[in-house]
Structure 1
Amino acid sequence: MHHHFRTTCKLIVLGAGLSWLVLKPVHTTAKGTSPLVAQPPMEVPNSSGGFDYMLFDARGNRVYASHPGAGRLTMLSVKDNRITEYDTDGRVNGIAIDYSGNRFYAAGGNQKVVIFDYKTMNKLGEIPLPGNADDIVFDPDNRTLYVTHDDGTELWTVDVDHQKVTGNIAIAGAPEYIEYDAATHRLYQNIKTANEVQVIDPATNTVVATWSTEPVESPHGQALDAKRGWLFFAGEGKAGVIDIKTGKLISSVSFGSGYVDQIAFDTGLKRLYCACGNGYLAVLQETSTGLKLLGNVEDHRGSHTLAVDPHTHTVWVCYGDRTHSYLQAFHAE
């Protein structure tokens, strides 16, 4: 099949003719100020439809967002505020970077891994998958891409150098976000149907531990404080933290109703951000004993993923409908 590769390198600044929602904090911090301040949204040119996972690339100073509603991958160059979209030949969800191989990977409902050149973002090829994918993560040590089977009960292992699926790993239920920790050389996989995190050893590609996320149910979002060895997760209106040295729950906190999809941890501010699908961002502070809620900040309904810039502490979200799609920044206060 011939693949049409489309790029659009144009920033559209919203003017007086296009209205946007002025966001106000739902709840505030003890000082009476919002922990995040919304900036004007930026429209993705000639694009529409919903987004999925986001990724902030600190090395390239780029914001990536999978855009399954448009069958594309969206990229924002923070340096010059330029938005570009790339054809992914169908819906993609998970995204990952292979710096040493100069590759960028995207996979999802198109049942394939789409490979891009990281520097140029030229499309290099595709790897067929046995079914629909969701999240993905790259292990640079064994050069394996781990791909979650969307609503399945396994992960697929993909040899990116030979561009083929090499096997699968059985897990306890439907997977959501997967996290790789270089320090422990372990993969942490949320299992939304079992309220668990399963620990995978990439050396053997087997599950070596299972930890309960209770009282957090349907864990979707996941993030890691690698320096401290704390694993954060969030689900239906709650977030929790597990000590990866012991597998024990340290604390949990409630922040309201609504499901959480993706979360992100700012290592500098020690803040955890949770994207809730019902129109707000939950902002939590890491403390010596766990997590505490700083406040809920109004977001756009349906915006369920996010990414954070560790240098500027900017939080990025994305959202779209049948006619338009947007990226938006929130500045930390």
Structure 2
Amino acid sequence: MTRLKAALIGVSIAAVSLQAATTYKVTGRYPVAGNGGFDYLMIDSGARRLYISHGTQVDVVDADSGKLLGTLSDTPGVHGIAIAPEFKRGFTSNGREDKVSIFDPSTLQLINKVDVGKGPDGIYYEPASKRIFTNNHGSHDVTAIDAKSGAVVGTVKVGGDGEQAIVGNDGMIYVNSEDTNDVVVFDPKSLEVKKRFPIGVAKTPTGLAYDAKTHRLFIGARNEPKMIVMDAASGKVITSAPIGTGVDYAAFDPDAKLIFFSCADGTLNIFHEKSADEYEDAGAIKTQQSAKTLAFDPKTKKIFLSAAEYVETPATDPSKRPTRTIKPGSFVVLVVSK
């Protein structure tokens, strides 16, 4: 194959990937009953189940139809959901009671609750260590739970409020620390912090995604809203680009080389990774205000976002802020696809 022909093929592949990115749009809405607050949602792609944090409960819907399959109750202030498939166990981070609920995903029945650090927020499963981790915003640490037994096995002293996390090729967990403005790298087995990578170019990092082939971290920061691309080995910042305000989650499609950031201002930013050090803006999708978290389905390439409308009630004291409440009947899961 000649160099010119190879180059033309490379350009064609890049053009197709970029064109595919720009065809994303909101294609569906799954109404969900109830008026509670919301945070993360998580998809079990194999089981075709979408888990949605919703006030004091987790609603579970069919990912393809939006049909409500069931509800896991008694999860006060739930933030996130994680599944350990080999043990047929699910876990929720209950922020208001400093506990994790352990449940059976097939029946949604509660098995047990365990005490963790203060204010558990994000929660995730690391399959090599077979442990569940919670990012605790009240105690500024991470709790490790044995997924099989449900026992707490230790604490990672990250010294910050962890947001989204990923597992790297090196077996380490990388987690954004939103109050210290760095990426903390820790060993899921020894629970030791190995590295800290200052972000520098922006503050309040929340969303985090990862390309295992190029070893690049994709960080979404709220203060001076940016996507930051970082070398996962060295912590070097490669580049950055503006995004919407109120970012809270990120995802990466390794097939199309697309990076997604969901923002509370109603923006879903999409970027295309041309190479390890080259990136282009693939366009922004208008979603809905408050749609700050997402779940990416690797099977269908669809993106799901929780959102709701808010009503502001003026405070009786003019010096105080208005009260914001969710408009009854407005909670919904948006479906974004090609």
| Whole-angstrom CA distance in 1 between matches of 2:217 and 2:129 | 22
8 Å CA contact retained: 1:242, 1:250: yes
Q: Partner of 2:92: helix, strand, or coil?
A: strand
Alignment partner of 2:293 out of 302, 305, 323: 305
Alignment partner of 2:230 out of 215, 224, 242: 242
Q: Give the letter aligned to residue 95 of structure 1.
A: I
| Whole-angstrom CA distance in 1 between matches of 2:18 and 2:255 | 21
The match for 1:291 is 279
Alignment partner of 2:249 out of 259, 262, 270: 262
Question: Is 1:204 equivalent to 2:190 in the alignment?
Answer: yes
Alpha-carbon RMSD across the aligned residues, in angstroms, is 2.3
Question: Is 1:134 equivalent to 2:139 in the alignment?
Answer: no
Structure 1 residue ranges (4+ consecutive) displaced by more than 6 angstroms after TM superposition: none
The match for 2:72 is 86
Q: Give the letter aligned to residue 200 of structure 2.
A: E
Q: What TM-score do you get using the length of structure 2 for normalisation? A: 0.82
Alignment partner of 1:57 out of 44, 55, 58: 44
8 Å CA contact retained: 2:268, 2:284: yes
Q: Give the letter aligned to residue 44 of structure 2.
A: D
Alignment partner of 1:315 out of 303, 311, 316: 303
Residues 178-213 of structure 1, C-alpha deviation per residue, up to 9 Å, x if partnerless? 2223x3211111111221101101232111011122
| Whole-angstrom CA distance in 2 between matches of 1:145 and 1:315 | 24
Q: Report the count of equivalent residues.
A: 299
- How much does 1:292 deviate? 2.1
Alignment partner of 1:100 out of 50, 64, 86: 86
Superposition pairs of residues 1-333 of structure 1, within 5 angstroms: 34-44=22-32, 46-67=33-54, 69=55, 71-83=56-68, 84-109=70-95, 110-181=97-168, 183-236=169-222, 237-256=225-244, 258-288=245-275, 289-320=277-308, 321-324=326-329, 325-332=331-338
Q: Partner of 1:199: helix, strand, or coil?
A: strand
Structure with greater helix percent: 2
For the pair shown, the structure with the greater C-alpha radius of gyration is 2
| Whole-angstrom CA distance in 2 between matches of 1:40 and 1:147 | 31
Q: Give the letter aligned to residue 81 of structure 1.
A: G
Residues 284-307 of structure 1, C-alpha deviation per residue, up to 9 Å, x if partnerless? 111212432222221211111001
Residues 209-232 of structure 1, C-alpha deviation per residue, up to 9 Å, x if partnerless? 111223132100011222332221
| Whole-angstrom CA distance in 2 between matches of 1:193 and 1:130 | 17
- How much does 1:168 deviate? 1.6
Residues 15-44 of structure 1, C-alpha deviation per residue, up to 9 Å, x if partnerless? xxxxxxxxxxxxxx997x954211231211
The structure, 1 or 2, with the larger RCO (C-alpha pairs under 8 Å, 6+ apart) is 1
8 Å CA contact retained: 2:71, 2:108: no
- How much does 1:275 deviate? 0.9
- How much does 1:278 deviate? 1.3
| Whole-angstrom CA distance in 1 between matches of 2:117 and 2:159 | 19
Q: Partner of 1:93: helix, strand, or coil?
A: strand
Residues 97-117 of structure 1, C-alpha deviation per residue, up to 9 Å, x if partnerless? 101111111113132111111
8 Å CA contact retained: 2:207, 2:221: yes
8 Å CA contact retained: 1:273, 1:283: yes
| Whole-angstrom CA distance in 1 between matches of 2:194 and 2:143 | 17
Identical positions, percent: 25
| Whole-angstrom CA distance in 2 between matches of 1:262 and 1:117 | 26
Quickly say closer, same or farther: Cα 1:160–1:34, change in 2 above 3 A: closer
| Whole-angstrom CA distance in 1 between matches of 2:167 and 2:108 | 24
| Whole-angstrom CA distance in 1 between matches of 2:205 and 2:41 | 17
| Whole-angstrom CA distance in 1 between matches of 2:160 and 2:291 | 25
Residues 104-147 of structure 1, C-alpha deviation per residue, up to 9 Å, x if partnerless? 11113132111111333322221122422001122222222211
The gaps in structure 1 that reach 5 residues or longer are 1-28
